[in-house]
Structure 1
Amino acid sequence: MRTVRQEANIARERLVQGIALAVLLLMGLYCVAGPSGLLAWGENQHLLEQRRAKLAELQAERARLKNRVALLDQSRMDPDLAGELVRSHLNVARPDEMVMQLP
């Protein structure tokens, strides 16, 4: 025959075990569905691939701009690029050139 004290101890143990089980289940759920869990892993990989592609695109653009800046160096300026810039920014043309505007 159980006493009231034993029944209270059993109830307390079951409560503690239930709380521990709930905490473990929540931790497991967080590991699977949390912001850095298994479900977010695929999304993070997809974002990483997108950002790597964008980085490669930006590096190519940077290299193009770096080359253009090197061509504009005053000590060794490229005459073709200088002429192109003058014509495009100042809207000038030489007398022997014909300007055709396209629609």
Structure 2
Amino acid sequence: MWTRQHKNRKLGRFVLPLVTVAFLSYFGYHSIHGDRGLIAAQEFEKLRFRRGAELAELVSHRKSLERQVEFLSDGSLERDMIDEKARYQLNVSRPDEIVIFNNKMN
């Protein structure tokens, strides 16, 4: 009967722990710094809050514009509103008028 004798290698004991450490290090790093990691999630939340504030501002601006459209299209056109819009868009005034521009109008 033929037997093969193995040398006891000290490095053989470290192969599985080294592979495990490498595996955990790789996935641990990417769970924090990866495209979908913790840091990316924080940046996404910051972006979401900024976009939410921007959305609220745009919604209020839209409501303001809708209110102005109601004044113009409810069947009884108000002369003051039409006059005000025309003067603002054309940038004209009469010689006896004082013009104060308000930047909130578009």
Q: TM-score, structure 1 length as denominator? A: 0.66
Higher helix fraction: Structure 1 or Structure 2?
1
Please give the secondary structure, in 1, of the residue aligned with 2:75.
helix
- 1:77 matched residue in structure 2: 77
- Percent of paired sites with the same residue: 24
Q: Supply the distance in 2 between the matched residues of 1:74 and 1:39 (Cα, whole angstroms).
A: 52
Shift of 1:46: 2.1
Contact 2:30-2:37 at 8 Å conserved across structures = yes
String of CA shifts for 1:75-101, please: whole Å, max 9, x gaps. 2322221121233344254xxx72236
Pick aligned residue for 2:97 from 91, 96, 99: 99
**Cα RMSD (Å):** 2.9
Evaluate the alpha carbon distance shift between residue 76 and residue 15 of structure 1 in structure 2; reply closer, same or farther with a 3 A threshold.
farther
- How many residue pairs align between the two structures? 94
Shift of 1:66: 1.3
